[in-house]
Structure 1
Amino acid sequence: MPATHFEQFLAEAVTHDREPGSGLKRDELYGLYTSWCLLHQVEPQLPEALWAALKRHGIAPDDNGLSMTGPAAADYIVASAPDLI
């Protein structure tokens, strides 16, 4: 998948507003990514492809300082806690 696929995900679904050492865990990042893919009708790539794309953009998957944002964040949160509906 072209880098633009992951760049679009980063632009639409995450924000850099946390300090390094905090942020999303790998499972949260991948869950957010799969929610984003679902909303955009894009086939999700394997987690390893996401980690590699993050690293190409200077983002460490385990120490990222990222927060969720946008429609994919809402979809992920609702999907993660279906009892809230």
Structure 2
Amino acid sequence: METPDYARFVQECIAADTVDDHILSEDQFYGVYLSWCALQTQTPGPCESFWAAMSEQGIHERRANDHRRIRPGLRMTGPAALDYILASQPSLV
């Protein structure tokens, strides 16, 4: 397995959305990344490297009122998003 290309991950799996209610939590964002790595047969990079790469890609966290780390205005898309959703919501299957 090779180390993932973070820019490619963003291009294939993350979409900007102007709808205010689209927010990716830290867990969702990292979860779709892990799904993408599995589908690409790539070894996920360390968390610290992933978040540093997301910052370099212009994706910055904000703190919600309940102190969760979120990325507003973003949504997940593509096959990795479907894989993540089905894995995290087994009742949908």
- When Rg is computed on C-alpha atoms for both structures, the one with the higher figure is 2
Q: Give the TM-score normalised by structure 2.
A: 0.78
Per the alignment, residue 76 of structure 1 pairs with: 84
Structure 1: runs of 5 or more not aligned: none
Aligned-residue RMSD, C-alpha: 2.3
Using a 3 Å threshold, how does the CA distance of structure 1 residues 55 and 19 change in structure 2: closer, same or farther?
A: farther
Amino acid of the structure 2 residue aligned with 1:26? E
Write 1 or 2 for the structure with the bigger share of helix: 1
- The share of aligned pairs that are identical, in percent, is 40
Map 1:13-28; keep pairs closer than 5 Å: 13-18=13-18, 23-28=23-28
Number of matched residues?
84
1:30 correspondence with 2:38: no
Q: Give the TM-score normalised by structure 1.
A: 0.85
Using a 3 Å threshold, how does the CA distance of structure 1 residues 64 and 53 change in structure 2: closer, same or farther?
A: farther
Structure 2: runs of 5 or more not aligned: 62-69
Structure 1 residue 33: deviation in Å? 0.1
Write 1 or 2 for the structure with the bigger share of strand: 2
Map 1:1-80; keep pairs closer than 5 Å: 5-18=5-18, 23-61=23-61, 62-80=70-88
Structure 1 residue 19: deviation in Å? 5.6
